[in-house]
Structure 1
Amino acid sequence: MDQRTLYSSSSSASALETNKVLRNTYMLLAMTLVFSAVCAGISMAVGIGPLASLVMSIGALVLLFVVHKKADDASGIFWVFAFTGLLGGSLGYILNFYAGFANGPQLIMQAFGATALVFFGLSAYALTSKKDFSFMGGFLMIGLIVAIVAGIANIFLQIPAMSLAISAGIVLIMSGLILFDTSRIIHGGETNYIRATVGLYLSIYNMFTSILHLLGAFGGDD
């Protein structure tokens, strides 16, 4: 077997592995999003308060470390659903708040539609263009740190304009992360579909809540 044949076989194997990771990632992502939505619906029906929502969010943060640790084990799937279920449940209080607006249901559906449109559009672009967006990693990390620090600061400052700016910034950062994470899968930078799923899920989750905040601020009708 000559060198060209070996290279061709290696490339084919690599392409098959990449396609497998992509397929498993999108399948698991779809299931976790549905499960998360069901948990959000249940927590809305129960009418959880802000404290319960905060506890669920903290619990999900703790489970995030567990998910990454167990990503290579068979139990990783269970921890992914536990993690996304808690985050979905924590949305109940926020969704009930916006649902209380006169046009609340429309705002929620608009935020959902906008998030889906952005995700599918960016994913399709990354998949069809095959561009390598790994160069964005450093910029996105800095932007994320700035957004987190600004968000913590605004808890005490309570500046509405700053809150809107943070939400807009998060939408942009999450858009970049969708391109970045999808590109990593395509180019073999991420070969674990559980970690890939969690990364994309968090981008979708944060984008949805930020878009909902922006729509509520500009289009909310009490």
Structure 2
Amino acid sequence: MAEYQSMRAGSAGALGARIDAGLRAHMNKVYATMSIGMVITALAAWAIAGLATTSDPSAASAQLPNGTYLTGLGMTIYASPLRWVIMFAPLAFILFGWGQLMRRASAAGVQLGFFIFASAIGLSLSSIFIVFTSYSIVQTFMVTAIAFGGLSLYGYTTKRDLSGMGTFLLMGVIGVIIALVINIFLQSPAMMFAISVIGVLVFAGLTAFHTQMIKTEYVAHAAQGDQEWLDKAAYDGALALYISFLNMFQFLLMFLGQQE
């Protein structure tokens, strides 16, 4: 009997060690995928901003108040009705497309979908290279990275159950989106400031919340050995953290960014 109990304890210990090792690999995959997505977004935004502007006044289609000359592509992206499609297409994909992709596509298909989404975000984010100085963009990115790292580490290591924050934070995201749409028409600096403060707080909370959720979901499913689900879950987690990082960065840029 004692030998049987020892065998059970040994088996449980081996399973626990295997899950711990798998969790570390899973989290590394999540962060690596997210990081690649951020690089794709940054390169796409920088490249598109370069194509949308010109230093030659004779080749320009329009001039912005800050003196930047827009090419024909720049006019199409930033000044035509297409800008509304570019602005809201990523949100529509998250709300209506990502869930379908997770259910029906293979893990490789989900990964490809994430990278395509990151490229599309680069298109919608390209205007920051026209509005803000490169120094302030890099500075804000570093501040965001430090804050994100601390918040994600907290979410991974804390013993406190953060699941109760989910509904509250989701309501915060919905409120921020509605307020942003309203302010498109009001163009109120005071309202934009309030939205930015709330946005930073909401997505800071979501960073910790999603990190803990990624960890707990892996532990709950790892023993079942469903590798296809685990692969998809890594890309789903990468998307959640990517969105939190990106929104924190954009809202912080409202405070820290210096305009051209």
Fold shared by both chains (TM-score > 0.5): yes
C-alpha separation between the residues in 2 aligned to 1:195 and 1:221?
34
Q: CA deviation at 1:221?
A: 5.8
Q: Which amino acid aligns with 2:124?
A: S
Q: CA deviation at 1:142?
A: 1.6
Judge which range, 181-190 or 17-26, deviates more.
181-190
C-alpha separation between the residues in 2 aligned to 1:166 and 1:205?
15
Counterpart for residue 37 of structure 1: 42
Counterpart for residue 27 of structure 1: 32
Counterpart for residue 17 of structure 2: 12
Q: CA deviation at 1:195?
A: 0.5
Structure 1 pair 149/62, CA: closer, same or farther in 2 (3 Å)? closer
Tell me the TM-score normalized by structure 2.
Answer: 0.73
Counterpart for residue 112 of structure 2: 78
Matched, 1:151 2:180: yes
Q: CA deviation at 1:63?
A: 3.6
Structure 2: unaligned runs, 5 residues or longer = 53-73, 220-229
Alignment counterpart, residue 133 of structure 1, candidates 145, 162, 177: 162
Tell me the TM-score normalized by structure 1.
Answer: 0.85
Q: CA RMSD in A?
A: 2.3
Q: Which amino acid aligns with 1:56?
A: I
Q: Which amino acid aligns with 1:27?
A: A
C-alpha separation between the residues in 1 aligned to 2:183 and 2:123?
25
- Offset from partner CA, 1:9-59 (integer Å, 9 cap, x none): 443343233223211101111111111111011111011332455433433
Structure 1 pair 40/109, CA: closer, same or farther in 2 (3 Å)? same
Aligned residues: 214
Q: Which amino acid aligns with 1:150?
A: A
Q: CA deviation at 1:110?
A: 1.9
Alignment counterpart, residue 201 of structure 1, candidates 225, 228, 242: 242
Counterpart for residue 187 of structure 1: 216
Report SS of the residue matched to 2:126.
Answer: helix
Q: Identical aligned pairs, as a percentage?
A: 29
Report SS of the residue matched to 2:161.
Answer: coil
The 8 Å contact of residues 21 and 185 in structure 1, kept in 2 or not, is answered as no
Counterpart for residue 122 of structure 1: 151
Counterpart for residue 58 of structure 1: 88
Structure 1: unaligned runs, 5 residues or longer = 99-103
Q: CA deviation at 1:153?
A: 2.2
C-alpha separation between the residues in 2 aligned to 1:94 and 1:63?
22
Q: Which amino acid aligns with 1:176?
A: G
Q: CA deviation at 1:194?
A: 0.8
Report SS of the residue matched to 1:188.
Answer: helix
C-alpha separation between the residues in 1 aligned to 2:111 and 2:211?
20
Q: CA deviation at 1:131?
A: 4.0
Larger Rg: 2
